Structure 1
Amino acid sequence: MKNFNLTSKIRKNIQELVPYESFRDHNSFENAVLLDANENPFGENNRYPDSTHKLLRNKLSEFKNVSAEQIFIGNGSDELLEIIIKIFCEPNKDSILMMKPSFSMYEVYAKTNAVNVNYLFLNEDFEINQEDFLKQTQNPSNKILFLCSPNNPTGNSIKDIDFYIENFNGIVVVDEAYIDFSSQNSTINLLGKYQNLIVLQTLSKAWGLAGARVGFGISSGDIAKWIYTVKSPYNVSALNQNAALKCLNDTEIYRKNLAEIIDQREILKEKFKGISIIKKVFQTDANFFLIEFEDVEKVYQKLLNNNILTSFRHPSIPNCIRINIGTSAENLKLVEILNQM
C-alpha cells in the first residue's frame, strides 16, 4: 500500500513502552562471573537464554535471504499472533479481519484481548470474494488482516495475494505455516514492496519441530523492533533455540522427510479416488487433505475406533474431515479402514 505510516498504526501506549533488555544480550564478556540474574550457579541449563535470539536469527537470515534485523522469533508462531494483535489493536475498539474457515487462533487471540473479529466468508472453492473484501476495507476498525496461505483447514493457497496486501489500510499478516509443502512462492518476496506486510512461518511442520515450539516472522526492520519491544524477555528457551539451530544446520533430514511427505500426498490422492465413501478431496498445497464424506460422523467414529485420530470439521465445513499425511504405514492403515466402509 502507498504512503504507509507504521507509527500511526501502533497503539499509543505501546509507542510509550520501554522494552525489557538483558544486559548480557547487548554486551560481550570472556570468562565472566555471572551474578546479575539470580540464576542457580549449578546445572547444565542454569542460564537464561539469549533474549534476542541472535544465532537463530542469523541462521534463518541465510535461509530466507533477508536481514537478521527483519526476523523475530516466537514460542511457536501462535505467540507472535497475539503479540501482533497487542501492538496494533486497541481493546474494545479495533477489529481484526480474517477468512472463515481458517485457523481458529486468530479469533481466539483477538477475543482474549477484547478485539473484535470480522470475517471474509470463503466461497465453495474456499476463495475470498474480492468485492466483500473491498467492502471490509471501508471499515476503519479493521486494523489487521490475517491471511493463511496455504489455508488451514482447507489446504488451498490464496490467489492474487498482492491484491489484498495492496488494498488493505493496515497490517497484513500472511501465515505461511505450510508453505514448505507448496509450489507457490512465499510472500517473503513481497516484503520489499509492501511495508505493511508480516510473514509468519514455523519450524513445527515441515521441519518436524512441533515439540520445540519455534515460530518466526519476517517483516520490515521497524516492525520487528516493535515485536521485540512487546515480547516476553526469554520467550524461547535455550533448549528450543539449540534444537532449531541443530535442525537448520543439518538440512538433509528436512529435505528427505519433506520429499517423502509430498510423495505420500500424491500416493494418497490417487488411492482416495477408489474409495466409495469419499465424495470430494479438495485441492491441497499443505501436508493434509480436507475430505468430504458420505455419513461423515460414521467415518470419523470408525477411524477413531481403529485408533486413527483425525480433525472433525463438520458442521462448520459440512461433511468434512481434515486428515494429515503420516508415514507410509500409517497412510496404508487409513486407506485400509476407509475401504472397509
Structure 2
Amino acid sequence: MRKINLDQLVRPNLKGLTPYSSARDEFTGVEGVFLDANENPYDNEVNRYPDPHHRSLKKTLAPMKGVKEEQIIIGNGSDEVLDLLFRAFCVPGKDKIVTIKPSYGMYRVLANTNDVGIEEVALTNTFDIDSKAILKAAEGAKMIILCSPNNPTGNNLNRNEIKLILEEFEGLVVLDEAYIDFSSSPSLMNWLTEFENLFICQTFSKAFGLAGIRVGIGLGCIQVIELLHKIKPPYNVNSLSQEVAIKRLENIWQVEQELIQIKMERSRLVEYLNQNKLVQIVYPTESNFILFKVDNANTFYTYFIERNLIVRNRTNVFGCQNCLRVTIGTQEENNRFIEVFESLVNEQIIK
C-alpha cells in the first residue's frame, strides 16, 4: 500500500486542534427529552439540529461505495469538501496545489480564497494528462487535483497516468469524480485500498439529480477523513437534504433508469453534431455534456440565447476557443436543441 505521511502534510496549527463539540456530539441517542441544544421545543419536523455526522446517510452510502462509514465525509456540496481539503493541508501564503487546464474553475477560486498558490498544467492536444509534467510542477506542492471525467472537456483522464502520479507524489491526489456515473469506466474507489494518498470527491448533484439540496461526498483513508471532520462546521448539511439523499439512494433504480435515458440521448446528440456541417469538432465525452467546436462560438451562443436555448459558451476557457458545451437534457429538450441548430444551419445556407 502507498502510505501517506499525514504529519508532514497537515497544517501545523491543526495538529493539536480540539474540534468544536456540539450537543449532538455529546449525546448521540435518538430518543429522550432534549434540553441540551437551546432549540425551539415545538415539533415542526425541522426544529431539531441535524445529525452532524450524517450517520444514516453514511450507513446507506457505504455499502454502495464499497468503503467503511469512517472513510466518508459529507459536505454541503462537493465544493465544501474541496474547501476543507485546502484548509486542512495548505498553509495560506506558503503552500501550493497543482491542477490541470482546462478544468473545473472552482479549483482556482478555492486556491485564491485560501491564499494558496496554484499551478495549472495544460492538458495534451487530446485533453489528456502528462504525468511527468504534472509531477514536475508538483514539486513541493501539497495537493494535485484532477477531474475525471473532466469538465469542460468531458473525457476520462488516462488511468495509467493517474496511477503513476499516485505512486510518485508525496502529497494528496484529489480525484474529482462528479461525472463518473455517466462514464463507461468505473470509479477509482477501489484504489483507496491501495493508495492512502488518494482522495475522491463525488456528488449528488449530477447523476442523482439533486443539485438543489447541495450534498457532496468525500472518500479517503480514515486518517484524512478524521482530520476533515475536525475542521468542518458542526451542522453543515441540513436534515432535509440528508433525508432526500437517503431516499434517492433507496430508490437507486430510478437513477439507473435516468442514466440509461441520458446516455441514449447523449449518443443521439453526438451523432447529430458529428453530421452537422457547422460543427468542426465533437470532442469525445464520458459525461452528461458534449463539448463541440464551431467557427465562431460567440455568434452561435447569441443565436441560441435569443431563442431561449441556453448552452455554455466556453470560448474564453484555455484550450476551448470557439467551443460550446451543451448539457444532455430530456428528449424534448434535445429535440429543441436540434430544431434551433437546424434553423441556424438553414440560415447559414441561405446566406
Q: TM-score normalised to the size of structure 1?
A: 0.96
Give the equivalent residue in structure 2 for 1:12.
Answer: 12
Query: Which whole-Å CA distance do the structure 1 matches of 2:258 and 2:173 have between them?
Result: 31
Give the equivalent residue in structure 1 for 2:120.
Answer: 119
* Identity across matched positions, percent: 41
Q: Give the secondary structure class of the aligned counterpart of 1:119.
A: strand
Q: Deviations over 1:104-154 (max 9, x none)?
A: 1111011101001111111221112233223213x21x1110000000010
Q: Deviations over 1:293-324 (max 9, x none)?
A: 12211110111011111111113210001111
On the 8 A contact 2:145/2:176 being kept in 1, the answer is yes
Q: Deviations over 1:243-280 (max 9, x none)?
A: 00010011121111111001100111111122111111
Amino acid at match of 2:88: I
Query: Which whole-Å CA distance do the structure 2 matches of 1:206 and 1:264 have between them?
Result: 14
Amino acid at match of 1:12: P
Query: Which whole-Å CA distance do the structure 1 matches of 2:69 and 2:20 have between them?
Result: 20
Q: Give the secondary structure class of the aligned counterpart of 2:41.
A: coil
On the 8 A contact 1:178/1:287 being kept in 2, the answer is yes
Distance apart, 1:185 and its partner CA: 2.2
On the 8 A contact 2:289/2:328 being kept in 1, the answer is yes
On the 8 A contact 2:97/2:116 being kept in 1, the answer is yes
- 1:322 equivalent among 306, 321, 325: 325
Distance apart, 1:4 and its partner CA: 2.8
Amino acid at match of 1:27: F
Indicate whether 1:292 and 2:293 are aligned. yes
Q: Deviations over 1:71-119 (max 9, x none)?
A: 1100000000100001010100000100011001111011101001111
Q: CA RMSD in A?
A: 1.3
Query: Which whole-Å CA distance do the structure 1 matches of 2:29 and 2:52 have between them?
Result: 16
Structure 2: unaligned runs, 5 residues or longer: 345-351
Give the equivalent residue in structure 2 for 1:32.
Answer: 32
Give the equivalent residue in structure 2 for 1:336.
Answer: 339
Deviation >2 Å, runs of 4+ = 1-4, 21-31
Give the equivalent residue in structure 2 for 1:134.
Answer: 135
Amino acid at match of 2:151: N
Give the equivalent residue in structure 1 for 2:347.
Answer: none
Query: Which whole-Å CA distance do the structure 2 matches of 1:59 and 1:222 have between them?
Result: 21
Amino acid at match of 2:179: Y
Instruction: Count matched residues.
Output: 339
Query: Which whole-Å CA distance do the structure 2 matches of 1:285 and 1:29 have between them?
Result: 44
| Aligned CA distance change for structure 1 residues 31 and 163 (closer, same or farther; 3 Å) | closer
Give the equivalent residue in structure 2 for 1:279.
Answer: 280
On the 8 A contact 1:282/1:289 being kept in 2, the answer is yes
| Aligned CA distance change for structure 1 residues 333 and 46 (closer, same or farther; 3 Å) | same
Give the equivalent residue in structure 2 for 1:154.
Answer: 153
On the 8 A contact 2:3/2:195 being kept in 1, the answer is no
Give the equivalent residue in structure 2 for 1:79.
Answer: 80
Query: Which whole-Å CA distance do the structure 2 matches of 1:30 and 1:336 have between them?
Result: 55
Q: Map of 1:300-319 to 2, 5 A cutoff? A: 300-316=301-317, 317-319=320-322
- Report the more deviating stretch, 171-180 or 40-49: 40-49
Give the equivalent residue in structure 1 for 2:173.
Answer: 172
- Report the more deviating stretch, 51-60 or 161-170: 161-170
Distance apart, 1:3 and its partner CA: 5.0
Q: TM-score normalised to the size of structure 2?
A: 0.94
Query: Which whole-Å CA distance do the structure 2 matches of 1:3 and 1:75 have between them?
Result: 29
Q: Deviations over 1:141-190 (max 9, x none)?
A: x1110000000010011102211211211000000000000011211111
On the 8 A contact 1:6/1:196 being kept in 2, the answer is no
Query: Which whole-Å CA distance do the structure 2 matches of 1:250 and 1:182 have between them?
Result: 20
Query: Which whole-Å CA distance do the structure 2 matches of 1:337 and 1:103 have between them?
Result: 28
Query: Which whole-Å CA distance do the structure 1 matches of 2:136 and 2:28 have between them?
Result: 53
- Report the more deviating stretch, 237-246 or 269-278: 269-278
